[in-house]
Structure 1
């Protein structure tokens, strides 16, 4: 696995027009179960293939089990300089329902160890909308998080994954999730508490203090190129030999054994390549960019679409209504959501995507 990860890293970097790596993110699955030397090997493959920025952010997703907590120091020696800890809940009964193997005490120990090893570079993930969760218990939990990790916090609403035990329990009526209105209240209450404690909501689910934003995730949200390595990884980059604006969406083989076979045979296991049109890129830019506080700036839009401005694309009665009701703002800075608009972004995105689709419609023969 280590050999294949390093091989695919080198191959995909060499296949791209990427000349410098600004961040590395080990995520998906449970990368902290890997040996630190595996992490070190991938980082070394990057540095040998291209330039790694001197201040590059290197993040590792960590589950707060005792086994993984015990490796935090070795991961730092391997080159990791930031960790994202999947706490999910501070209530042991909820952790069991979610199928987690750690306890709330394990989480506290992991966070404390991480904060001492990676000062200012620790993020904690927490899930709300869990079965039986109340607003009061959620508020208590937020304050508990703040007492031990005060730099970066990510809040995610529980998503039921088909095929999991929790999904079956909810479908059968054995377990009930909080009502939608209650989950909305949980989100808004958490936002208010975090802002009172000096956190900046720089993205729908992400809050940072003292400039502790995630550089890597920000690259996704601002439409930058990224290379996906490993089973099931996704990437977006401009390959060598093609025009500067011809970006490809790439998906790697999902299953680990076939993935390794293909990497050993071809140097990579790219299963699917889709050449992205300008319209594809702009739809992605809006879908992810509006998740952020800054939204889509005129500069980032014009870099990808010099022929159509934000003003010319986002017009018409539907968009005007979103602006007049103060859900979105379109001004000299660009296109972004308001605070109340950020909370209902998913409901607005179809109208915004349709505006892009309409602008790029190919005229019919009669219209010509």
Structure 2
């Protein structure tokens, strides 16, 4: 396979800072009742995994009552600031939120339901590690209101789990998933890592086969990213472990896509696969550029502070360190570290970067009925009407259509001619081949968007065509809600 690719990295919840720009001013939000997803960050773990760079803490003891009270108060405060009418989904992430008690989850959900409408049956997801997952506490979480579980299996090989610094064994992972599926049938997702140092193509194929025999109807596959400052990255840098080969990573990813789709999974987002309609509605809110509110240490949010009379979308980040965050929540009602009004260009950049991660892409017009279009690989890409719903380009750019930005001669036209993108009456989306190399397509698309809006700031490097030809991969901007 070709050497030039950008490959997906973990996206539990996207909140990365994208390049900013000019523009005529903030895009006013409509007067329709506001809705938002809610992310709740539990920052504590029993130990830090060797690859982890997220905002997590290992402490001798946790004052759960104090943390619970602060999560409840901050959720109430930010819901009041945003004047959100309805919370569409709740996601408890971390950290290891399955280390919290069901009572903490219940208290937060009760606070949310008291401050806004929480529809019956709204998706409520809890992240869990196999080492803290058994039938008894899971039943408690279900009684508290959780109806979907995301289990960090990561690998079904004991040697790989030890290298990753995981607490659990492969046998414990299997037992945890079986217990979860018994309590949350059809709503148990598992995370799996590929591209581990020293992992062979055959080993990955075996892990994938074992996973298919275990999994429910949702799988998240993430290429291991060696983040600066992690123990695993230091081992690779010191030569103690081999660095993964880019071509091998590409083959692993493509193999997984083909195998999962062939067994009934829809590849609905770069790293996510679902069958029987088991898509994560919470994560879709990020990719659709809907409003979302982040609660807890280091959580990110994107919402309008209607309670302050604002009509501008803000990017907010909560204080990282738990003790400092709690002190601020107890004093002010919330622990926001930073808040920045996003310019129209920044909002469109986020919409482009995130929306194209889905198989639907970004639509301009309201939903319409049309068949799925063949993409030349013997596979069908769902049309917008059959997929996730509008990605609201028109909402963020009412006067400048997708066709006006990306339909004229330029980078986007070239990418369409090369078979990476489709721009038609349904909107802008990646082809089957393009979805796999999205990271290497985005810089050209962002450059064209910036140029059309008169805010271009071309990076000082070669063109993306030159980089693809030269074998240099380009990563998309991504982040993690925690």
Q: TM-score range by the shorter chain?
A: over 0.9
* TM score, norm. by length of structure 2: 0.74
Residue 357 (structure 1) aligns with:
450
Any unmatched runs of 5+ in structure 1? Answer: 364-368
8 A Cα contact 1:85 1:124, kept in partner: yes
8 A Cα contact 2:411 2:448, kept in partner: no
8 A Cα contact 2:319 2:335, kept in partner: yes
- Report the alpha carbon displacement of residue 69 of structure 1 after superposing the two structures with TM: 5.8
Residue 28 (structure 2) aligns with:
none
Q: Describe how 1:1-368 pairs up with structure 2 within 5 A.
A: 1-66=67-132, 70-241=136-307, 245-299=311-365, 300-314=392-406, 315-361=408-454
Deviations 1:37-90 (A, max 9, x none): 111111011001110012200000000115566421111111100000000011
Residue 37 (structure 2) aligns with:
none
Please give the alpha-carbon distance, in whole angstroms, between the structure 2 residues aligned to 1:327 and 1:83: 34
- The alpha-carbon distance between structure 1 residues 362 and 33, as it changes in their structure 2 partners (threshold 3 A), is closer
Count of aligned pairs: 363
- Report the alpha carbon displacement of residue 150 of structure 1 after superposing the two structures with TM: 3.3
8 A Cα contact 1:87 1:124, kept in partner: yes
- Report the alpha carbon displacement of residue 161 of structure 1 after superposing the two structures with TM: 2.1
- Report the alpha carbon displacement of residue 175 of structure 1 after superposing the two structures with TM: 0.1
* TM score, norm. by length of structure 1: 0.96
- Report the alpha carbon displacement of residue 242 of structure 1 after superposing the two structures with TM: 6.2
Deviations 1:126-167 (A, max 9, x none): 000011111111111111111121300010000112222211
8 A Cα contact 2:81 2:307, kept in partner: no
8 A Cα contact 2:81 2:308, kept in partner: no
Runs of 4+ in 1 over 4 A off after TM superposition: 66-70, 241-245
Please give the alpha-carbon distance, in whole angstroms, between the structure 2 residues aligned to 1:17 and 1:359: 34
Higher relative contact order (CA 8 A, sep 6+): 2
Higher mean C-alpha deviation, range 66-75 or range 167-176: 66-75
Please give the alpha-carbon distance, in whole angstroms, between the structure 2 residues aligned to 1:301 and 1:17: 23
Please give the alpha-carbon distance, in whole angstroms, between the structure 2 residues aligned to 1:110 and 1:69: 8
Deviations 1:157-206 (A, max 9, x none): 00112222211110001101331000100000011110110100000010
Any unmatched runs of 5+ in structure 2? Answer: 1-66, 366-391, 457-482
Please give the alpha-carbon distance, in whole angstroms, between the structure 2 residues aligned to 1:293 and 1:362: 28
Q: CA RMSD in A?
A: 1.4
- Report the alpha carbon displacement of residue 320 of structure 1 after superposing the two structures with TM: 1.4
8 A Cα contact 2:318 2:335, kept in partner: yes
